[in-house]
Structure 1
């Protein structure tokens, strides 16, 4: 998706991963529309294996995502990247870019949440599984977690993926989050909602913060 304002200021948004992407996509589209009113152009690509991509997710690796994000930024000549939550681990190839990062989490945190969801679902269906058993299973072949089929390499790479630290970065968190950061945004943790939702005030605040960051 692309909203290109008549402005030299442009940013590429990288959506969260897996279920968090579904819960936050409406909010991110609202951010792009708000950026347009602030005369900021934006683009939000689909990662391989997600949304309109024709590549099966189980064949995708974290390395594929990192290369795809890098290629997209180069093709569109974009040097400012805004990543959300787990997608921070997909932008590591863009070391020279300027990065705006919202509430970043490492890969192992993403997987732990998905594994716990699988354990709970298995329990409801009368199966007894553990995090250790599922982790071992993921190391030998594709595994279904929270409706997503992950290949063993993607699982392994994500499990080792740390939050990147860039020379030029701004880390933004919710006001309710006490982790270290460079700024705070009022709003709610949409990624924790049971269903996709939006927060117009938060979307507007994120857009204003990104626009201000682009001016620095």
Structure 2
């Protein structure tokens, strides 16, 4: 694929947040919300390939960094769902209304930013599931260092202070968000899952669950399949 990706930014509060952009010359574009926490890093290459695929099919896309992630100057421990939603709305205000919002895994928990826009979701997950994985990773890491940490202890700490879970600084507000969060119910949603996933979905596509990999990886077939489904669905 010869198409290029450009670095851009969008304003949020007193700072700017970075975003990746493709196909800025196209009339239609899709807002891609990256997965949360470590899953964001593991799927970055796949999302970049997805953006190139969409560009080749005459649809632009924008992949914003969320406040408190990557190179953001926003304090990570102060991030929460409402701040992330506000940031996504600021991104849309900057670039205009997208033809659809595409969210992945944990970002399906915060994709309700514009009820007039179509929402496409890949393998949505409950916040508690993400949180449990992060906490178990912390417990295992502490055990390797000779420390005994329990899930109950982490939960108690998180109610009053920021805690580090798998390299992520999570404040009390975000911890509380994750405990109760489920993908919001919206009017125009298309839910897509990978083949073999028995959870409810509108369709299934073939590909690898990159968010489960130990290291970042790509899956060109998965990126192409996602692009194809997005293009056909947004054209309806």
TM > 0.5 fold call: yes
DSSP-derived class of the 2:43 partner: helix
Deviations 1:43-81 (A, max 9, x none): 111100111211121121211001111221233222410
Residue among 40, 43, 46 paired with 2:65: 46
Q: Are 1:183 and 2:197 counterparts?
A: no
- Aligned to 1:197, the other structure's residue is in SS state coil
In the other structure, the counterpart of 1:121 is 141
SS at match of 2:199: coil
- What is aligned with 1:95? 115
After TM superposition, give the deviation of residue 5 of structure 1 in Å.
5.0
**Partner residue in 1 for 2:31:** 12
Alignment correspondent of 1:134: 154
Correspondent of 2:215 among 188, 195, 200: 195
Q: CA deviation at 1:130?
A: 1.2
Task: Give the 3-state SS of the residue equivalent to 2:41 in structure 1.
Answer: helix
Question: Would you say 1:32 and 2:48 are equivalent positions?
Answer: no
Q: Counterpart of 2:17?
A: none
1:9 touches 1:214 (CA, 8 Å); kept in 2? Answer: no
State the Cα RMSD in Å.
1.1
Deviates more, 1:141-150 or 1:128-137: 128-137
Residue ranges of structure 2 left out of the alignment (5+ in a row): 1-19
Relative to structure 2, which stretch is displaced further, 36-45 or 93-102? 93-102
Structure 1 residue runs of 5 or longer lacking an equivalent are: none
TM-score (norm 2): 0.88
Size of the aligned set, in residue pairs, is 216
**Conservation of the 8 A alpha-carbon contact between 2:110 and 2:183:** no
1:154 paired to 2:174: yes
Is residue 2:228 matched to residue 1:208? yes
Distance 2:182 2:38 in 1: 20
Cα distance between partner residues in 2 of 1:134 and 1:59: 18
Q: Secondary structure of 1:44's match?
A: strand
Partners of 1:110 and 1:10 lie apart in 2 by 29
For residues 84-113 of structure 1, what are the alpha-carbon distances to aligned partners after superposition, in whole Å with 9 as ceiling and x for unaligned? 000011222322221000100121111110
Alignment TM-score, normalising by the size of structure 1: 0.96
Whole-angstrom CA distance in 2 between matches of 1:50 and 1:188: 24
In terms of fraction of residues, the more strand-rich structure is 2
